[in-house]
């Protein structure tokens, strides 16, 4: 089976191999053989929730088939989440996946993260397509509560933002740099957040509710997995993970904290008055969130930073998972840094990633053609990824925001992505629209949207 090695070269990444092209070509080629058999993947999460995905494969475990299925499992695992993977299809394919996604397999990082997120050992169950459990999704309306005096915060890897909000209007916003990833003491994280809340409260007559947005996996206001707490020792992690519940106890008001990606989708829904929203935030990492066409949050992980978007075997590796070609290396400040050598832009070795991004933004503001090529390349990545995401998410609008999209460079990213969709994926371009918030909302809108998460107590209505 002849499969494409590439679609078209990104300006600074000629070996880029879009996942969407490989996947589409494989499925089309399988159907033409007349030997296609069904493959059903089911991901079981908390409370017996199940997400299903159905496709076709060749019955034998050939190289192309194993590559297709393994990368598909990786995408679904981080997009939807689960502690148990049901593989309904040819047993040889299932056995390969069971080995790959085991405690000693190449994807042991993913297994460990799913175990941490759901509190149960990750496992792969082999069966037939007919025996994979039926889909059962969580359908929870979230956010959009605007009345009252609220505080919203957004915790990122290089800075945190917070807002004081009265009846949906921000009366105060601020943005503070910090370095949580290298801090072992949970007190560092708590004191920064507590200080921000008190500063915001000074601009309100009272505090009725607090809403938060944070990188990582958040379940029941607890941090289950987060790079923000990477340096916290295992023995201290339980104390660090309950920081939001400590805040709720101290302030004695409703507190709701969600993954920053879901709040991005909420911010898009609020600002554009639209449902069927996929939010993508390109900052210190890639955050994503999804609101379905009915305005519901499905309880998926939406950790697109870890999903594969590039099948080039020599693609850059994520320093945390060790996997290659995953979203964080294409849609974050790491993407900008990764492209610096190809753009022939040299910066001091000791300069941090946030500072490197700022330097590229300065060059872009001066019309530097090298910086423009970086943003154009990211735009090619984004256009291809949007076509890929559209095969897994039912969205009409995609809200793109974050530090990487700030300024003239962000305009190039969006415009290039739109051109890629229109030229190479016209059927997708007709169904979805890429949107950006205004410049102010790009940087602080997340915190304002987070403030709308909690419903007020009856005595506050």
113 shares a domain with 191: no
Cα torsion 14, 282, 85, 52 to 10°: value is -90
Give the end of a domain, one of 131, 165, 184: 131
Task: Tell me the C-alpha distance between 175 and 159, whole Å.
Answer: 7
Q: How many CB atoms lie within 10 A of CB 15?
A: 13
pLDDT in tens, 435-456: 887 654 444 477 888 899 898 8
123 shares a domain with 178: no
Look at residue 4 and tell me if it is in a domain.
no
pTM of the model: 0.84
Cα–Cα distances in angstroms (integers) from residue 368 to residues 101, 356, 358, in the given order: 44, 15, 14
3-state secondary structure of 334: helix
Residues of the chain with pLDDT under 70: 1-8, 140-142, 438-444, 458-461
3-state secondary structure of 461: coil
Which helix (H) or strand (E) segment is 51 a member of? strand 50-57
Look at residue 24 and tell me if it is in a domain.
no
217 shares a domain with 252: yes
pLDDT in tens, 275-301: 899 989 898 889 898 988 888 878 799
Alpha helices in 103-185 (DSSP H): 108-118
Look at residue 19 and tell me if it is in a domain.
no
Cα–Cα distances in angstroms (integers) from residue 405 to residues 114, 175, 374, in the given order: 30, 17, 12
Look at residue 1 and tell me if it is in a domain.
no
pLDDT at residue number 440 = 46
pLDDT at residue number 443 = 44
Looking at the 3D structure of the chain, how many domains does it have?
2
Look at residue 11 and tell me if it is in a domain.
no
Task: Tell me the C-alpha distance between 262 and 181, whole Å.
Answer: 22
pLDDT at residue number 217 = 85
Q: Which residue in 106, 17, 25, 16 sits closest to 65, CA to CA?
A: 25
Q: What is the CATH number of the domain that holds 388?
A: 3.30.420.40
163 shares a domain with 82: no
DSSP class of residue 310?
B
Q: How many CB atoms lie within 10 A of CB 14?
A: 11
Its domain, for residue 124, covers: 35-131
Q: Which residues contact 34 (CB under 8 A, 6 or more apart)?
A: none
Task: Let me know: does 124 contact 85? Beta carbons within 8 Å.
Answer: yes
3-state secondary structure of 124: strand
pLDDT at residue number 444 = 44
List of long-range contacts for 69-72, beta carbons under 8 Å, 24+ apart: 69/39, 69/93, 69/96, 69/97, 70/96, 70/97, 70/100, 71/19, 71/22, 71/23, 71/308, 71/311, 72/23, 72/41
Q: Which residues contact 238 (CB under 8 A, 6 or more apart)?
A: none
147 shares a domain with 125: no
Look at residue 300 and tell me if it is in a domain.
yes
447 shares a domain with 313: yes
348 shares a domain with 446: yes
Q: Helix crossing, 333-343 with 353-365: angle to 10°?
A: 60
395 shares a domain with 320: yes
Side-chain half-sphere CA neighbours of 266 within 13 A: 30
3-state secondary structure of 209: strand
Give the end of a domain, one of 78, 111, 131: 131
Cα torsion 234, 238, 239, 240 to 10°: value is 70
Look at residue 10 and tell me if it is in a domain.
no
119 shares a domain with 144: no
Look at residue 43 and tell me if it is in a domain.
yes
Give the end of a domain, one of 76, 106, 131: 131
Side-chain half-sphere CA neighbours of 51 within 13 A: 22
83 shares a domain with 172: no
123 shares a domain with 194: no
Cα torsion 118, 123, 126, 129 to 10°: value is 20
Task: Tell me the C-alpha distance between 277 and 124, whole Å.
Answer: 31
List of long-range contacts for 106-109, beta carbons under 8 Å, 24+ apart: 107/74, 107/323, 109/320, 109/321, 109/322, 109/323
Rg (CA), the chain: 22
pLDDT at residue number 274 = 78
235 shares a domain with 259: yes
DSSP class of residue 169?
E
């Amino acid at each position: 089976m002849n499969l494409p090695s590439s679609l078209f070269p990104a300006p600074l990444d000629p070996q880029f191999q879009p996942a969407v092209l490989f996947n589409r070509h494989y499925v089309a080629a399988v159907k033409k053989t007349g030997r296609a058999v069904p493959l059903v993947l089911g991901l079981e999460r908390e409370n017996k929730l199940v997400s299903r995905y159905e496709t076709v494969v060749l019955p034998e475990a050939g190289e192309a088939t194993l590559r297709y299925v393994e990368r598909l499992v990786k995408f679904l695992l981080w997009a939807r989440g689960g502690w148990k993977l049901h593989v309904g299809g040819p047993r040889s394919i299932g056995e390969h996946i069971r080995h790959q996604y085991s405690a000693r397999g190449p994807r042991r990082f993913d297994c460990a993260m799913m175990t941490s997120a759901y509190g149960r050992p990750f496992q792969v169950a082999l069966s037939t397509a007919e025996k994979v459990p039926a889909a059962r999704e969580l359908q929870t309306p979230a956010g959009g509560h605007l009345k009252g005096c609220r505080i919203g915060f957004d915790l990122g890897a290089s800075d945190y933002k917070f807002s004081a909000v009265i009846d949906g209007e921000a009366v105060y916003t601020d943005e503070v740099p910090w370095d949580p990833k290298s801090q072992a003491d949970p007190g560092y994280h708590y004191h920064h957040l507590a200080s921000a809340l008190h500063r915001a409260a000074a601009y309100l007559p009272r505090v009725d509710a607090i809403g938060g947005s944070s990188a990582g996996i958040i379940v029941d206001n607890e941090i289950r997995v987060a790079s923000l707490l990477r340096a916290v020792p295992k023995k201290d992690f339980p104390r660090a993970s309950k920081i939001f519940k400590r805040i709720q106890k101290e302030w004695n008001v409703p507190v709701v904290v969600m993954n920053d990606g879901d709040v991005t989708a909420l911010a898009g829904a609020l600002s554009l008055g639209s449902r069927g929203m996929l939010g993508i935030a390109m900052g210190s990492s890639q955050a994503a969130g999804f609101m379905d066409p009915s305005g519901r949050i499905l309880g998926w992980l939406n950790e697109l930073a870890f999903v594969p978007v590039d099948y080039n075997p020599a693609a850059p590796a994520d320093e945390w998972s060790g996997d290659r070609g995953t979203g964080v290396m294409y849609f974050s400040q790491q993407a900008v840094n990764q492209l610096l050598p190809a753009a022939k832009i040299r910066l001091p070795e000791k300069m941090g990633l946030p500072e490197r991004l700022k330097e590229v933004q300065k060059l872009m503001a001066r019309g530097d053609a090298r910086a423009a090529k970086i943003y154009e390349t990211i735009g090619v990545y984004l256009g291809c990824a949007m076509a890929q995401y559209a095969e897994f998410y039912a969205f009409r609008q995609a809200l793109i925001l974050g530090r990487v999209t700030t300024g003239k460079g962000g305009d190039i990213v969006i415009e290039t992505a739109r051109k890629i969709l229109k030229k190479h994926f016209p059927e997708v371009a007709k169904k979805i629209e890429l949107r950006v918030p205004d410049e102010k909302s790009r940087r602080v809108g997340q915190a304002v949207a987070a403030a709308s998460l909690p419903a007020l107590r009856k005595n506050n209505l």
